[in-house]
Amino acid sequence: MSYLEKKGKKGTVYVSFVKKVSFMGENFLIKKYIGKGLQSLDKDKYVMDNLDIISNEELTFRKKFLGQIKKNISHNENLAERIELKSIKINNLIEGKRCRSSLDLEFIKEFIFNSNNIEGSKIPPERVREIIDTGDTKYQNRNEVKEVKNSITSFDYLQKSFKFNTHSIKRLYHILTKDLFMEGNIPYPKGFKKEPVIVGNSHTTPPEKVEEELKSLLKWYRDNKNKIHPLILALEFHKRYEFIHPFRDGNGRTGRLIMNKILLSAGYYPIIVYKLNKLAYFNAIEKSKEGRLKNYYQFMLEQADKTYEFLLETIKRY
């Protein structure tokens, strides 16, 4: 949050730019004296004119937290600082250009297309955009059209009403899968899975232990949300959630949404796992069960970097 601070002294108004940052339980203040008597100065213009200076100063503050990321990646230590700086710039640009709603719309189009196509949907990106822009499309596979519409509603629920409890997770799944059919024209079942589910060659949490393990995971999140760097926290939660695999289907889609809620709650923009990297994504999660955690984090952080680059390029158009 930034603002212009105006203080009067002996009939003269002195103006400073102020930005307050709260991160992982610590507070940081950026304060830049601008001048005196600048009654018509526009705060947003100041942010845009001084974007690099403001962003780099905040990055300097956040660098001390990046060790948690660096120790969890297999190569390219610059990746952590690159993602952090991009994240800071995105937030500053959103404020400076007042483009949050427009950027959210473009993100949702990309996120839904990629997330649904990872899980087997064939709907092309232009049809996803058409549904989001107009409310419908003539695309023949109506199940996939409904899937997109449900995803839009799910994202709205995620942003406005989702809480970190089992009720919200069930509700998110219900919204996401309402009136949809799985392979074989089978309706999505309600609630948590009733039968064991094997993913690849790995067993997931038995049905009778799903609720217990989800509550344990949610407690882990609450206990660590100010201790573990938000990017690592979100990615670790996602991995553990996929190991539980609480539903018969829809676990990847719900898992990626909850991962992004963690990022949003910490002031980060959400990320996309790109469908072109689908096999590497599945492989990274699978291999993490064998202890190859750095490969998983490396892959997911590269997806974050790719997403943030897409967002920065999108903002340039506003």
Are 181 and 147 contacting, i.e. CB atoms less than 8 angstroms apart?
no
Distances (CA, A) of 244 to 59, 185, 210, 238: 35, 25, 7, 10
Split at pLDDT 50, 70, 90, the class of 40 is confident
Whether pLDDT at 308 is above 80:
yes
Given a cut of 80, is residue 235 above it in pLDDT?
A: yes
Class of 100-296+310-315 in CATH = mainly alpha
Q: What are phi and psi of 25, to 5 degrees?
A: 85, 0
pLDDT tens-digit series, residues 174-223: 999 999 998 888 899 999 999 988 887 788 999 999 999 999 999 999 99
Residues 6+ apart with CB under 8 A from 223: none
- Could you tell me the residue ranges of all domains in the chain? 2-71, 100-296+310-315
How far apart CA 251 and CA 231 sit, in angstroms, is 20
According to the model, what pLDDT value does residue 289 have?
85
pLDDT digits 0-9 by tens, 48-89: 999 999 999 999 999 999 999 999 998 887 999 999 999 999
Query: Residues 10, 13, 17, 21: is their CA dihedral positive or negative?
Result: positive
- Rounded average pLDDT over 16-41: 91
Contacts of 173 (CB under 8 A, 6+ apart): 246, 247, 250, 254
Provide mean pLDDT across the span 292-314.
96
- Which pTM was predicted? 0.95
Q: How far apart are CA 207 and CA 289, in angstroms?
A: 19
Would you state the pLDDT for residue 255? 98
Task: Specify whether the CB–CB gap between 268 and 220 falls below 8 A.
Answer: no
Instruction: Give the model confidence (pLDDT) of 237-255 as tens digits.
Output: 999 999 999 999 999 999 9
Q: What is the pLDDT of residue 39?
A: 72
pLDDT at 292 over 80: yes
Kindly list the distances between the CA atom of residue 300 and the CA atoms of 6, 7, 9, 209, in Å, as whole numbers in the listed order: 43, 46, 52, 28
- Under the banding of pLDDT at 50, 70 and 90, the label for residue 278 is very high
How large is the average pLDDT for residues 143-168? 97
Phi (first) and psi of residue 197, to 5 degrees: -125, 130
- Band (pLDDT 50/70/90 cuts) for residue 131 is very high
What's the CA gap between 243 and 63, in Å, rounded?
Answer: 31
The confidence score (pLDDT) of residue 64 equals 94
Mean pLDDT taken over the chain: 95
CA–CA separation, 113 vs 204, rounded Å? Answer: 27
Q: Is pLDDT at 122 greater than 90 in this prediction?
A: yes
pLDDT digits (tens, 9 = 90+) for 86-116: 999 999 999 999 999 999 999 999 999 999 9
Report the pLDDT averaged over residues 4-27: 92
Terminal CA-to-CA distance of the chain, rounded, Å?
A: 21
What is the per-residue pLDDT for 264? 97
CB 158 within 8 A of CB 260: yes
Beta bridge partners of residue 19, listed in sequence order: 2, 30
Burial class (CB in 10 A: 0-12, 13-18, 19+), 82: middle
The answer to whether 78 and 237 are in contact (CB under 8 A) is: no
For the cut 90, the answer to whether the pLDDT of residue 228 exceeds it is: yes
